[in-house]
Structure 1
Amino acid sequence: MNKPIAVALAGVLVLVGCAATPPEPSRQASSVAPSRTPSRTPSASVHPTASPSTTPPQQRCLSTAANLSRKAQVGQLIMVGVNGPLTAAERKLIAAQQLGSVVLLGDQPGSVKSLAATTAQLSGLVAEVPVVTAADQEGGLVQRLNGPGFTTIPNANRQAQLSDVALRTAAQKWGSQLAAAGVRWNLAPVADVVPKAKLKTNQPIGALHRGYGSDPAVVTEKTQAVIDGLKAAGVVASVKHFPGLGEVVGNTDFASGIVDSVTTADSPSLAPFQAAAQAGVASVMISSARYSKIDPNNQAVFSATVIGLVRGWGYQGVVISDDLGAAASVRKIPAGQRAVRFVAAGGDVVIDADPSLVPAMTAALLAKAAKDPAFATRVTESAARVLALKQDLGVFRCG
């Protein structure tokens, strides 16, 4: 893709998970301490024992979700992309579809103060459950919010040169700016491990300096430092893009048929994701590439096997998709089926960078739930996880 075309598309296509060409742009599952040297294979997570006199938070949120209308439940499963100032049409869509979250796309030039007014407006668009605003605020080429009040964040390569303590402190500062702007969910950090030999040819991560290195142990430390810093500022994180985009060449935003033929279910490169999951990161983003040595028949976002790896670590937080709206990797699949297949595979929140596809996605989810009781249960379970994340943020209370 030539540069003029790429720049033109940056405002309308998702660059949520995988930045393609510049400019690109918790729910805490348990109280387990971060695993700084995780095992290379999945292991069971430890869960705190609930007091017999209280209802565990997850159970309360499940009950609360079950009491929502089916449409409200489905709405919690959609994160719609918004480019630039919020329009009347976007406000109407969010309210009518009772959507649970919004992700700010494109370059958002507004100040912290002006953005806070926008996010406050967004929050109140759905009466039953507040809307949460998210952003891709990684740093480097992927920093959506860069107006007055927002620090220019270095790319991950440069962040990795900081000590863990310094990086955590810096992330807390960046997170405090997000929180002041009402952006409480950061779709970062990138936990993908790019081999040294592929740093220049790996288009989504290595070539754009979005990764923390080629050593899984180092990437684990740096991603956890960012997660911890954001959490200290009142912002939840999302590690991405499981099971990793470090071994691929092409970018799923702009190309279809991207296949990783190297990564396995016990590859060392999964260590940063496992550590984050077992430490209770709010969300884990799933890649839309295909992993032939894990599930050769399905893209990761549609693979119960891939998502099952995360759940196999005892993870009870939100599993979120990479873009299923405008990304080239899913373009041949009907929009409604993208949402249904992701949720059926065990996913919780669908990112849709194309607002025009939201009605098709919600309609398909509602139709599937109406005729399939097992799927309806899945929808309720996913809605409960989103409510739990919002409860952790202090914007909603279950039970």
Structure 2
Amino acid sequence: MPAARSRPSRRSAAVRALIVGGAFAVAFLTACASPTVTPAPSSPTPTTTVASPVVTPTAAPSPSEDDPLAQMSLEQKVGQLFMVGVPLDGSDDLVAAEIRDRHVGSVFLHGRSTAGISPVADLVGDLTSLVDPQSTAGIPLWIATDQEGGEVQVLRGPGFSDIPYAIRQADRDAARLSRSAQSWGEELRAAGVTMNLAPVADIVTSHATRFDNAPIGALGRQYGYDERTVAAKAGAFADGMRAAGVLPTFKHFPGLGRVTQNTDTTADVHDTEIGADSPDVDVYRELLASGPAVVMVSSAIYDRIDATRPAVFSPVVVRQVLRGDVGFAGVVMSDDLSDAVAVTDIAPADRALRALDAGVDLLLVADDARVLPSMYDAVLARAQSDPDFAALVDEAVRRVIEAKAVR
């Protein structure tokens, strides 16, 4: 690992002061966040679990002078597999060091800020100034945030609109919603944000039971209660983001609209209804046909697909259903792997390895960047000793780099 280089002149102290001054005094909601609501789940119905597929890496193209992977060290490749949280209410020094020394290729602006566009743009400028041939091989950072609307809107203040809850966005026709989303996306671009961890594509069971669905329906994060409505309205939001130059992210595959507990605050969250042929999965076929996007995989367990492990660690969910059945060839990312209760019984290093083995390309370390070193070091060590795993790394990095080029 290269020695740390001297840090460029920064405005971070002033930027942090502005952002802290406008930050909400609320707990951070991650990409799948909500208040702690843990009603008792319904009794699961025994079903047959789909057999795990054999993990066979796609043969990587032969390196050439024009191939960006050929110009990258293994350490730099591994860095492209991580998206690390930058707190808007504290220091970004740790993340800056990880960009320089562990070659992290994506960051996630998290917390809550009412400071407005200008100080956020300054912070983003400080981070993107760290991109060079030694840190990220010159590959630009993805700058992401959570700008869904309603309770899940990280960035507010001068220059940012107050975005309605998704269920209220759905009151607009698709054309109007797309125009609104384009305007919201242009605000993000003005702040330097290039990726939005939105929209939610989860189908909540019904209006009558929405409050039983702690992570989505209870917070109004859903666009509707049926496949057709969700496809139309989440698709319109995504179209608007793309028109603004912001890459959308559909979440939380294969669906969080039917669970009663929240994976951020509860372990062993099971969905007993969604199968590979459910509308919750089918909606992704329509959404993903409309243009470039990332798909975020849930950390819940899906008894009718793979009852043995969370979706984010399941090759059945990722490789067989999402890639095979749905036909998605783009970037698959995890939900937060840093401190979500659904995954914290697994050591951080193993979380990273299991997600990559399952077919995930981009690992979100949102709330606690202190776990990144053990994750990064484990992935690097295995890639150095295991040629098959190194091929998986190359495959994932190639998808990330290609997606960064197509916004």
* TM-score after normalising by structure 1: 0.84
Alignment of structure 1 residues 1-399 onto 2, 5 Å: 10-11=27-28, 15-21=29-35, 63-84=67-88, 85-127=90-132, 128=137, 129-196=139-206, 197-308=208-319, 309-312=321-324, 313-353=326-366, 354-393=368-407
One-letter amino acid of the counterpart of residue 83, structure 2: M
**TM-fit CA distance, 1:87:** 2.7
> Structure 1's 61 and 83: CA in aligned 2 closer, same or farther, altered over 3 A?
farther
1:294 Cα shift? Answer: 0.2
User: What letter is aligned with 1:10?
Assistant: A
CA pair 86-119 structure 1, distance change in 2 beyond 3 A = farther
Local SS of the residue matching 1:103: strand
Contact 1:123–1:132, Cα closer than 8 Å, also in 2:
no
Deviation at residue 119 of structure 1 after TM alignment: 1.0
> What is the aligned-residue identity percentage?
43
Contact 2:26 2:112 in 1 (8 A): no
How far residue 60 of structure 1 moved from its aligned partner, in angstroms, is: 8.2
- Compare CA radii of gyration and give the structure with the larger one: 2
Deviation at 1:326, TM superposition (A): 1.2
RMSD: 2.0
Match of 1:34 in 2: none
Contact 1:58 1:385 in 2 (8 A): no
Match of 1:45 in 2: none
Contact 2:292 2:406 in 1 (8 A): no
Any gaps of 5 or more consecutive residues in structure 1?
Answer: 1-6, 23-56, 394-399
Q: Is the 8 A contact 1:76 1:101 kept in 2?
A: yes
Distance in 2 (CA, whole Å) between partners of 1:279 and 1:381 is 24
Contact 1:286-1:301 at 8 Å conserved across structures: yes
- Aligned-pair CA distance for 1:71: 0.8
Where does structure 2 lack aligned partners over 5 or more consecutive residues?
A: 1-23, 37-60
Deviations 1:39-83 (A, max 9, x none): xxxxxxxxxxxxxxxxxx999899312431111011000000111
C-alpha offsets along residues 110-150 of structure 1, whole Å, 9 cap, x if unaligned?
22122112112211223122222100000000000002100
- Give the letter aligned to residue 108 of structure 2: V
TM-score (norm 2): 0.82
8 Å contact kept, 2:63–2:69: no
Displacement after TM superposition at 1:271 (Å): 2.5
Q: May I ask how many residue pairs the two structures share in their alignment? A: 350
Larger RCO, structures 1/2 (Cα 8 Å, 6+ apart): 1
Cα distance in 2 for partners of 1:109, 1:131 equals 24
What is the CA-CA distance between 1:97 and the residue it aligns to? 1.1
